[in-house]
Amino acid sequence: MSSKPEITPLYAAHGRSFEGNRFVYPVLSRRSKGISVGVNLNPDKICNFDCIYCQVDRTRQSETRFVEMDALLRELDEMLRLVTTGELYQTAKFAGTPEALRRLNDIAFSGDGEPTTYRNFDEIIAACAAVKDRYGLAEVKMVLITNASMFHREPVERGLALLDAHNGEIWAKLDAGTDAYYQLIERTPIPFRQVLDNIAAAARKRPLVIQSLFMKVHGEGPSADELEAFCDRLNEITSAGGRIKLVQVYTVARRPAEDYVASLSDEDVDAIVERVRSRTALPAEPFYGAK
């Protein structure tokens, strides 16, 4: 049994709460099939992509502008205590969690922007891994949810290696097959080729999960040609020696940034999954939109 972490708890009272947290938050994740503890490294809401489907409200300025590492680690310590003791399921928000989902699946770095833009990315990964280890949670994954735009930076490369050493898993965004569609969806000055090259390079070092969100734009889903090009990009990654353990095909589930964006039907999502499986021989899994 691991010793209790030395980090000072957030609250002295027995009835502790996560509602006032600024950096760490629990979610019941449909993709992780359990509790995911989110770590927000972008409380300023600044992102190097401006995706048309993003659920983050960037019209309102956040009260928290910078990551305070000590505060983040205290929040993570407290959150892991709540989940491992089961106290989380005594709160109103999580009391109805089905028994089968009352499991801590991962610590996920995502939040309100691109986490790898955080300047000291490798240091925060190392510090969070130390908190996880002190709780004896070696089997709990550390998941990075990322647009893969910064993988070529040295602090990020070191951070990815640290994830590898602590049961890490990278979920890399790939929402397009062509440059034109990439620019339509992501609205970023970062070249599509840079993202593709970064994903391929990272996948040669460890298996990646590809997360791909498809949607209706002005009432139209992605064309057959675009989906064929998307499968071509996946095949290029694997042909270059990259390993892909899963392709997550999902659609809009919460209110997007632009009102001309809408969810695909379940049937449309299933059709994309089948296309990916048949064209790439990769495992693919569907995640449906809001009902």
pLDDT digits (tens, 9 = 90+) for 140-180: 999 999 999 999 999 999 999 999 999 999 999 999 999 99
Question: 213 has which bridge partners?
Answer: 250
Same domain for 165 and 192, yes or no, is: no
CA atoms within 13 A on the CB side of 74: 15
**Both 163 and 178 in a single domain?**
no
If asked whether residues 125 and 219 sit together in one domain, one would say no
Strands (E), 56-178: 104-110, 141-146, 168-173
Angle (nearest 5°) at CA 104 between 54 and 204? 65
pLDDT of 61 over the 80 cut? no
Specify whether 124 is located in the same domain as 260: no
User: Residue type for 93, please?
Assistant: K
Could you tell me the CATH number of the domain that includes residue 284?
Answer: 3.20.20.70
Quickly count: other Cβ atoms within 10 Å of residue 82's Cβ. Answer: 21
pLDDT band at 12 (very low <50, low <70, confident <90, very high): very low
**In b/e form, how buried is each residue of 25-56, taking b as 16+ CB within 10 angstroms?**
bbebbebbebbbbbbbbbbebebbbebbbbee
Same domain, 147 and 86: yes
185 dihedral zone (left: phi>0; alpha: psi -120 to 50; beta): alpha
Q: Do both 157 and 217 map to the same domain?
A: no
What does pTM read for this prediction? 0.88
Torsions phi, psi for 145 (to 5 deg): -100, 115
Rounded to whole angstroms, how far apart are CA atoms 84 and 88?
A: 8
Residue 13 has a CB neighbour count (10 Å cut-off) of 8
Q: In terms of domains, do 122 and 219 share one?
A: no
* Domain range enclosing 257: 174-291
Last residue of a domain, which of 113, 148, 169?
169
Claim to verify: residue 116 and residue 50 sit in the same structural domain: yes
| pLDDT reading at 218 higher than 90 | yes
Structural domain count, the chain: 2
Cα 261 to Cα 81, 113, 221: the distances in Å are 39, 19, 10
Question: How large is the average pLDDT for residues 79-94?
Answer: 94
Residues 149 and 222 in one domain: no
| Same domain, yes or no: 152 and 230 | no
∠ CA 79-44-203, rounded to 5°: 70
State whether 100 and 198 are in the same domain: no
For residue range 15-36, what is the model confidence (pLDDT) as tens digits?
Answer: 334 678 989 999 987 767 899 9
Q: Are residues 257 and 272 in the same domain?
A: yes
Report d(CA 17, CA 95) in Å as an integer.
14
Q: Domain boundary residue among 169, 203, 235?
A: 169
- Strand partners for 107: 37, 142
- Where a domain ends, among 145, 169, 193? 169
